Amino acid sequence: MRTFNYSAIKDQKWDSEILGLVAAVYKYAGKQELYLKQKPHELEKLVEIAKIQSTEASNAIEGIVTTNTRIRQLVEEKTTPRNRDEQEIAGYRDVLNVIHESFDAIPITKNYILQLHKMLYSHMNNPLAGQTKTVQNYISATYPDGHTETVFTPLAPFETPDALEKICEEYSRVIGNFEVEPLIIIPIFIHDFLCIHPFNDGNGRMSRLLTTLLLYRSGFNVGKYISLEAKIAKNKDLYYNALRRSQDGWHEGSEDVVPFIKYLLGTILAAYKDFEDRFSIVWEKLPAVEIVRKATLTKIGKFTKQDIIELCPSLSLSSVEGSLRKLVQSGDIKREGVGKGTFYYRVK
């Protein structure tokens, strides 16, 4: 059976790219703290946007979808689920809310993870909610010609409860003793969790929720304001590629987890940079059209109305739409496409 010893991580040598990513995340996290003290009210609006994006994106990765309007209503708890997909979306919302509100009261233990998994399915009748898997699961890949292959076989069901308990104990011990850098051990824990694949269903969503929880508990709360799940969904091929590269040799303890560490640290850093961009836009008191103009200057290539709405949380939908029309008329940006296919790009 696979063994776990997280103390050994402190003796490992990391390359300059990983060390640079860790240093950059700390730098941006420090700047974020200053920003939050300066504009707490305005930035609180980013929380609502991030919750909606996180709930939508993490479920969409697993093929669980509904309309944009329904997602917003479900996250804001203004409606009840109509079908299975919406029941799963509502469950994700509930777990995310608990993490946002009570992360410091959720220790990293097997039992708490099982409770969060049970909550994930609280809006539906799933007899396996809150229990580790009862049948062997497999991680497969579908190739361009349509054929599917098993690329990784997680732990067997009988090994799973002990392994899940062990990684939680090891994580809590090295974090509690300040043995290992949190930004190194968090990706390793999430990678081990995904390789164990402890549940019959919901492993991917639970891994993303746990990523947010672990980051919060270590003082990195960028996921509260910028959706990490949305960033993963946008580049999910990179996510799956990093995961597969890091899984080879895992059962024997000879895996190279570096690709997954770099992927996750890069995602966290990108979120912090997005936060800084959004802060710079809400910092000054400007007319709506100038706020939108500043937002367009942060975009390279094509962008959508939704991209600008996310960057301008202080503006209403009508203000964003009106400002985009003015910028098109003035020749600052161009508009192409129709309906949902509409996009813009800068010409100045």
Nearest to 213 by CA among 106, 76, 88, 61: 106
Q: What distance in Å separates the CA atoms of residue 288 and residue 313, rounded to the nearest whole number?
A: 11
Mean pLDDT of the chain: 94
Name the superfamily (CATH) of residues 6-281.
Answer: Fido-like domain (1.10.3290.10)
pLDDT tens digits for range 296-315: 998 999 999 988 988 887 78
> Do 6-281 and 288-346 agree at the fold level?
no
Residue 313, pLDDT score: 77
Q: What distance in Å separates the CA atoms of residue 170 and residue 164, rounded to the nearest whole number?
A: 10
- Assign a CATH topology to domain 288-346: Arc Repressor Mutant, subunit A (1.10.10)
Q: Is the pLDDT of residue 164 over 90?
A: yes
pLDDT tens digits for range 16-28: 999 999 999 999 9
Q: Is the pTM of this model over 0.75?
A: yes
Q: What distance in Å separates the CA atoms of residue 296 and residue 334, rounded to the nearest whole number?
A: 11
pLDDT tens digits for range 244-299: 999 999 999 999 999 999 999 999 999 999 999 888 777 777 899 999 999 999 89
Query: Residue ranges per domain, the chain?
Result: 6-281, 288-346
- How would you classify residue 156: left for phi > 0, otherwise alpha for psi between -120 and 50, otherwise beta? beta
pLDDT tens digits for range 221-234: 999 999 999 999 98
